[in-house]
Structure 1
C-alpha cells in the first residue's frame, strides 16, 4: 500500500495527488503542496469516510479559490503510487486543453427523470459554442466524456445513470458509487463547496487528448441458475431464490453454511444477469437476519441470476489495460472506478500486489466503489474508467513530473 503523500503531473497536463493524512485540513494542505500554483479548470476529489466532509469542502474551497470542486466519499483510494486504505485522492484538470462543466442532481431517491434529463441537456449546451480546445472540424461528441459520482446508499443508480445517458445522447459516461468503506451508513457527495446526500454529481469534460472508456471484470457464468421468486426492488433485497430462502439457496450452491457467508464469500462468488447477450455482475451486499440477501443493484422478481466463477483477475485486467495502451498509442493516465469487492477478492486470493503493479504501470487514479457506471448500465464487481492517451498532434511531449514530499 502507498504511504505518505505524493503528486504527479501527467503528459496531458492533469495533476494527480494523494495523501494519507489523518485530518481533512492536513490532507488538503498536502494536496495543495503537491499541485502548487498550477492553473486549473476542475478538481475531482475522492476522500475517506473518516474525514469531516464539511471541513474538507470548506478547506478545498479556501485552498483552491475559484476552482470548481466535485467529489465523493470512498471505500479506498487508488493512486499512481498504489492503493490507499484511507486519505484523499485528487485529480486536478488543467485549464489548457480541457473545458469542464459540472452539476449536482439532488433527491435522487425520488428522481424526476424529465427534470434530470433537462438539467443534463442544459449542461451539455454550455459546452456547445466552439472553444479553444476543440478543432473546428471535430464532432463535439467525439471529444467529450462524462464522469458520474452517485450516492451508493440511495439505491438509485440504475435510474440515475439511465436518465443521464439518455440526455447525454451518445457522450460516453463512466463513474462510481460513493461509499463509506463497508459501513453502509453514510455516503456523501461534494459539489460547489457544499456537501450533498441522496445526490449525484455529473462532470462533463471536453478535450482534444485521445481517450477511451472501458470496463473489465474477471468472472464467467456457470450452469447454476437462480430465479428470483420474491424480492423488494426498492430496497434491493431478495427474499427467495428458486422459492427457497435466498441466503440458504445461495449458500448451498457455493458449498457453504448460511452462517458462514461473508463479504469475502460474496466477492468470490457473485451473481450475474444476462442483458443483450452479455453477463453483468449483481453483487451481494450482505445477508440479513431474516435470511434474505441485500444487493448493490436492484433485483426484480422473475429475474434469472447465474452463479459466476472467477477467472484470473490479474490476467484479465492486464489484457484490458494492454488493449487500451495499444488503441491509444500509449496510456498516459486512467481515471478508474473499481468495486470494493474486487479488492476483497484479489486480497483473498493473495494477488492484490499484481493488480497494484498494473495500476502503477498505467497511472491509475480513482477510488473503490459501491458500484460502477458504464454507459447506461449500473454494474458491480467491475473495473470501469476512462483512459487518456499520450498522443496529441502538435504538442511537445514533456513527460510526467513526479513530486516527492
Structure 2
C-alpha cells in the first residue's frame, strides 16, 4: 500500500530517445499514489541518445533528483536490452542529495571530492566529524540499523581507460570509516568497451562519478552473492602493486595461473570475458569468498586484476555450475532481507555483473525471474562492469562477477528515526552553538577593529567585510550623512559590491531595506542598511538584536573619532597661528615669507593644495604670489585653470565661499568638472580693500565625515588666517614706501653708469656715423631707460609689466625718428612681470631692434609693418621683433657685424639677461631675444 515507502518502476523501448525517457518515467510515476518521488534511478542503453533520454525523464518528473548510468543490459522485473528503465524511490522519510564529479581518469580523487562537495555531504566522509558516531549502530545480533546509504555509479573499463571504481570505493570506504553502506555499479556498454556514461538531472557526462546520498528512516538491507565455490587450488601473492600481480608463489603469475587451470600457457586467455569462467576468490575472516577476476595477461607474464591486490594474500581458484550461478540472485536477495531485518519488502534493486550474462546463457532470465517470483515486489537494476555492496559481515566491499542487491521495506525504522532525530537535535544545537561562538568572536573582532582603526572610511570597510560572516542572511552597507543635507547619505562601504546605490535619500529608501541609525550622544552620523539575500532564511530576534548592537558600537566609535577630530583641529589651529606669527615676524623677503606661511597651513591642516593671489595695484592684476601642493598630488591644467576661475569669482564677489561637492549643484562657480576637491576661498581684505585671495583645497572623501583637511570645518578660523595675511600685506606696503626712494636712487645710479658705458661705445664709433646720428641714437637709449623708471614708479617695487614696457618703448622709438615711413605697429602677447634689472636690458635691446628695423627694413619703403610679440613657455620669456622689409644681406654674420645696435643687443642678452639673441631672414628680418625668468610669476586679468 505504500504507507511509508513507495516504489515505481517503468520501462520503455522501441521509440525515439526522448519518448523512451518520458514514457519510462511516466510509467514509474503512475505507480506512486501517496508520496512524491524522492530519487529517480535511470538505467539506459548506451546506444540511445542519452541527452534526449534525460530531457524526456526530467520533463515527466519535474524537480525530482536524478542519477543514472549506461548499462550492459537493463533489468525491469526481467532482463531487457536497448531500452530505458526508470526506478522511483518515494517517501517523506527519505532525504536525498545528489552530486557529480568529472575527470575520473585524470584524477579520481579530485572527482570524488567534487562529487561529495556537489552533493553537500563532504562532512560525512571526514574521519574527524562527530556525525560518524551516528552513521552505524552495531548490536550483538542482526539487524544492524544504518540511517544513511550511498548509491554510486562510476565509469567501467573501456579499451582506452582502466576502471578506477575499486579505487573510488576504497577511498570512500576508508573516508567513512566503513560506517556508510555503499551500493553501486560501474557504467558499461554492450561489451564493446568503447564508452560509458553517467547521468545526473542537468546533464549527461562520460568519465564521471555520480552519487546519491540518502538519509533514511526507512529500513533497507544489502546482500551480495556470486554462486561460485572455492576449490583446493590456491596460490600466494608474493609480488603485487596496485591492480597488477607480478608473482604467485615466487613465480611469474601467468605461469602459475596456467598450472592451476591445468592448461598450457599458450591457451591462457587474455581478457575478462575468458577469465570469467575461471575466477579466483579471496576468503575473509568469516569464511566468505570475494571474487577477484583477472582482466588480462601482460607481456611480462603479470596479470591485471579488477580489484586492488596485496602481497601475502592467498587466492583460490573458484568453480560454479550455471544453476548455482543463476541462484546467486535469490541468495543476494535473502541476504539483504536478513541483513536489514525487513518485514515488508517493497523494492529490490539488483546490480548484476555483465560477465554473468555470458556464464548464464539461456539461464540469464532465471536469475532475475527467481527474485521477482520469490519477492513479489518490483525488481529493477542493470548489468554492470563492477559491483559495490556489503559483505556478509556488513562491511562495504567491491566485487566482480557478482550480484549485489538493495531492498527497501515499507516500514519505519525506529532506530534510524531516533538517530535522525538525535542528529537533528545535535545539528540544531551545534548550529546555535556555532552561531553564538561566531557572534562572540565577531563582536570581539569588531571591538578590536574599533580600537585599531583611526579613520571612519577604513573602519567601515573592514566592518562591512565582517558583516558577511556575522549577518549571513543579509547584504549590508554603511551610509554616512552627507554634508549640509540631513536627509541624504553617501555609500561608505558595503558587504557586496554593486548591490547598493552610491547615494540614498531618506524619503526614497526602498521598501525591502532595513536600517539601523548610527546615533551616539545626540549626534547622527549615518545608517546601517540591510537587505535580505535571495533564498536566505529570514532573520530572527537574535539577528535583530545583534544588528542593533553592531550599530551602537559603530556609532560610538564614530562619535569618539568625531571628538578626536575636533581636538586635533583645535591643536592644528593653534599650530597654524603659531607658525603664522613666527614666519611673519622673521626678517626675510615677502615672497619667501608667504610661501612658507601657506606651506605650513597646507601641511598642518592636511590640505591637498593652498594658493595665495595678491593684487598688483599698478595693473591692476591678481598675481599668484605663492602655491603649495601635497607631494603626492600633481595638479594638472584643469586644476590650475579652476584655481584661476575661483580667484576671478572671489575678486568679483569678495566674500567667503566654501564648497564640499562640486558635482552636486552646490557650487556657484562654473568649474571644469570633474574637480576632485572640496574648497574654501577667502578674500584677503585690508581696510576694506581687496588685497588678495586665499584658496584652500582638500581631496573629496565622502566616506570621511570629519577627515583631516576638511576645509569647511571652521570658516571663522580660516577668515582669521586671511586677516593676518592681509595685515602683513598692509605692513609690507608701508615698508615698501619707506624703501621706494632707496630703490629708485639705486636704479638711477646703475642706469647712469649704463648710459655712460653706452656713450663710450658710441664715441668709439664716431668715425662711422654722423655726430647728429650718434646723438640721436644716444638720446633714444637714454629715453628707453627713462621708460623703465616711469613703469617702475607705477607698479610694485622692482617689478615691470613687459607688455606695458614694450608698448612704451615701441612708441618712443618711432616718435624719435624725424623722417620715417608709415609704419603699422603690432604688439601682442600675455601680461608678464619681470624684475627691473632685466627690464632695463630688455628695453634697450628692443629699442635697438626697432630702430634697426626702421632704418634698414624700411629704407626704401614708404610704409611697412612692424610686429613685436612676447611669449612665456616653460620658464623662458621670448620677445620677437619682425619687419616685412628686404631682410638681411646675403653675407650677414652676427658674429662679425660692426653694427653698434646689434652688438649692444647681443651683449645685453648674454651678460644681463643670461639668455640668447638670434636674427634671421623670414619674409623680412626677424630678431628674437630669449631669457629665463629669475622667479616664478603667474598673472590673470
The match for 1:99 among 86, 95, 102 is: 95
Which residue is 1:386 aligned to? Answer: 406
In 2 relative to 1, CA 54–159 (structure 1 residues): closer, same or farther, beyond 3 Å? Answer: same
1:313-359 CA distance string (max 9 Å, x none): 34454344345456412422111211112232222xx5334313213
In 2 relative to 1, CA 352–296 (structure 1 residues): closer, same or farther, beyond 3 Å? Answer: same
1:359 has 2:371 as partner: yes
1:164 has 2:172 as partner: yes
Which residue is 2:19 aligned to? Answer: 26
Question: How many angstroms apart in 2 are the aligned matches of 1:289 and 1:66?
Answer: 51
Question: How many angstroms apart in 1 are the aligned matches of 2:82 and 2:299?
Answer: 30
In 2 relative to 1, CA 22–49 (structure 1 residues): closer, same or farther, beyond 3 Å? Answer: farther
Question: How many angstroms apart in 2 are the aligned matches of 1:293 and 1:10?
Answer: 52
1:149 has 2:163 as partner: no
In 2 relative to 1, CA 232–182 (structure 1 residues): closer, same or farther, beyond 3 Å? Answer: farther
1:332 has 2:346 as partner: yes
Quote the offset at 1:273 in angstroms.
Answer: 2.5
Segments of structure 2 that go 5 or more residues without pairing to the other structure are: 125-133, 137-145, 390-394, 415-941
Q: TM-score, normalised by structure 1?
A: 0.78
Quote the offset at 1:176 in angstroms.
Answer: 0.9
Question: How many angstroms apart in 2 are the aligned matches of 1:272 and 1:140?
Answer: 30
In 2 relative to 1, CA 251–23 (structure 1 residues): closer, same or farther, beyond 3 Å? Answer: farther
Which residue is 2:117 aligned to? Answer: 119
Asked if structure 1 preserves the Cα contact closer than 8 Å seen for 2:7 and 2:346, the reply is no
Quote the offset at 1:265 in angstroms.
Answer: 4.1
Quote the offset at 1:103 in angstroms.
Answer: 1.3
Asked if structure 2 preserves the Cα contact closer than 8 Å seen for 1:230 and 1:243, the reply is yes
In 2 relative to 1, CA 18–112 (structure 1 residues): closer, same or farther, beyond 3 Å? Answer: same
Equivalence map 1:45-124=2 (5 Å): 45-80=42-77, 82-94=78-90, 96-109=92-105, 110-112=107-109, 115=113, 119=117, 122-123=120-121
Which residue is 2:384 aligned to? Answer: 369
1:234-265 CA distance string (max 9 Å, x none): xx455655566655543443344544737554
Question: How many angstroms apart in 1 are the aligned matches of 2:410 and 2:380?
Answer: 16
Question: How many angstroms apart in 2 are the aligned matches of 1:319 and 1:228?
Answer: 30
Which residue is 1:222 aligned to? Answer: 231
In 2 relative to 1, CA 9–355 (structure 1 residues): closer, same or farther, beyond 3 Å? Answer: farther
Quote the offset at 1:187 in angstroms.
Answer: 1.8
Bigger shift: 197-206 or 162-171?
162-171
Asked if structure 2 preserves the Cα contact closer than 8 Å seen for 1:272 and 1:306, the reply is yes
Between 1 and 2, higher relative CO (CA 8 Å, sep ≥ 6) is seen in 1
Question: How many angstroms apart in 2 are the aligned matches of 1:25 and 1:288?
Answer: 43
In 2 relative to 1, CA 56–229 (structure 1 residues): closer, same or farther, beyond 3 Å? Answer: farther
1:368-404 CA distance string (max 9 Å, x none): 111111253211121112111244599xxxxxxxxxx
SS of the aligned residue for 2:79 comes to strand
Which residue is 2:462 aligned to? Answer: none
In 2 relative to 1, CA 313–386 (structure 1 residues): closer, same or farther, beyond 3 Å? Answer: same
Bigger shift: 301-310 or 186-195?
301-310
Quote the offset at 1:97 in angstroms.
Answer: 3.1
SS of the aligned residue for 1:387 comes to strand
| Number of residue pairs aligned between Structure 1 and Structure 2 | 370
Question: How many angstroms apart in 2 are the aligned matches of 1:44 and 1:377?
Answer: 21
Asked if structure 1 preserves the Cα contact closer than 8 Å seen for 2:109 and 2:168, the reply is no
Question: How many angstroms apart in 2 are the aligned matches of 1:266 and 1:231?
Answer: 19
Asked if structure 2 preserves the Cα contact closer than 8 Å seen for 1:155 and 1:298, the reply is no
Question: How many angstroms apart in 1 are the aligned matches of 2:52 and 2:156?
Answer: 22
Which residue is 1:282 aligned to? Answer: 292
Question: How many angstroms apart in 2 are the aligned matches of 1:329 and 1:356?
Answer: 21
Asked if structure 2 preserves the Cα contact closer than 8 Å seen for 1:117 and 1:164, the reply is no
Which residue is 2:9 aligned to? Answer: 16
SS of the aligned residue for 2:14 comes to coil
Bigger shift: 34-43 or 201-210?
34-43
Quote the offset at 1:212 in angstroms.
Answer: 0.9
Bigger shift: 247-256 or 68-77?
247-256
In 2 relative to 1, CA 13–283 (structure 1 residues): closer, same or farther, beyond 3 Å? Answer: same
- Between structures 1 and 2, the one with greater strand share: 1
The match for 1:299 among 300, 309, 334 is: 309
Asked if structure 1 preserves the Cα contact closer than 8 Å seen for 2:229 and 2:318, the reply is yes
Question: How many angstroms apart in 2 are the aligned matches of 1:345 and 1:355?
Answer: 12
In 2 relative to 1, CA 221–116 (structure 1 residues): closer, same or farther, beyond 3 Å? Answer: farther
Question: How many angstroms apart in 2 are the aligned matches of 1:157 and 1:125?
Answer: 22
Question: How many angstroms apart in 1 are the aligned matches of 2:299 and 2:379?
Answer: 38
Which residue is 2:673 aligned to? Answer: none
Asked if structure 2 preserves the Cα contact closer than 8 Å seen for 1:124 and 1:168, the reply is no
Asked if structure 1 preserves the Cα contact closer than 8 Å seen for 2:239 and 2:311, the reply is yes
SS of the aligned residue for 1:61 comes to helix
Question: How many angstroms apart in 2 are the aligned matches of 1:71 and 1:10?
Answer: 26
In 2 relative to 1, CA 117–185 (structure 1 residues): closer, same or farther, beyond 3 Å? Answer: closer
Asked if structure 2 preserves the Cα contact closer than 8 Å seen for 1:148 and 1:176, the reply is yes
Asked if structure 2 preserves the Cα contact closer than 8 Å seen for 1:149 and 1:189, the reply is yes
Question: How many angstroms apart in 2 are the aligned matches of 1:289 and 1:10?
Answer: 59
In 2 relative to 1, CA 64–318 (structure 1 residues): closer, same or farther, beyond 3 Å? Answer: closer
Asked if structure 1 preserves the Cα contact closer than 8 Å seen for 2:226 and 2:325, the reply is yes
Asked if structure 2 preserves the Cα contact closer than 8 Å seen for 1:121 and 1:168, the reply is no
Asked if structure 1 preserves the Cα contact closer than 8 Å seen for 2:19 and 2:53, the reply is no
C-alpha RMSD over aligned residues: 3.5
SS of the aligned residue for 1:351 comes to helix
In 2 relative to 1, CA 125–163 (structure 1 residues): closer, same or farther, beyond 3 Å? Answer: same
Asked if structure 2 preserves the Cα contact closer than 8 Å seen for 1:284 and 1:293, the reply is yes
- Between structures 1 and 2, the one with greater helix share: 2
In 2 relative to 1, CA 309–393 (structure 1 residues): closer, same or farther, beyond 3 Å? Answer: closer
SS of the aligned residue for 1:171 comes to coil
Question: How many angstroms apart in 2 are the aligned matches of 1:322 and 1:111?
Answer: 34
Question: How many angstroms apart in 2 are the aligned matches of 1:300 and 1:248?
Answer: 19
Quote the offset at 1:69 in angstroms.
Answer: 1.4
Question: How many angstroms apart in 2 are the aligned matches of 1:9 and 1:343?
Answer: 33
In 2 relative to 1, CA 329–106 (structure 1 residues): closer, same or farther, beyond 3 Å? Answer: same
In 2 relative to 1, CA 259–121 (structure 1 residues): closer, same or farther, beyond 3 Å? Answer: same
Segments of structure 1 that go 5 or more residues without pairing to the other structure are: 1-7, 127-138, 395-405
Which residue is 1:213 aligned to? Answer: 222
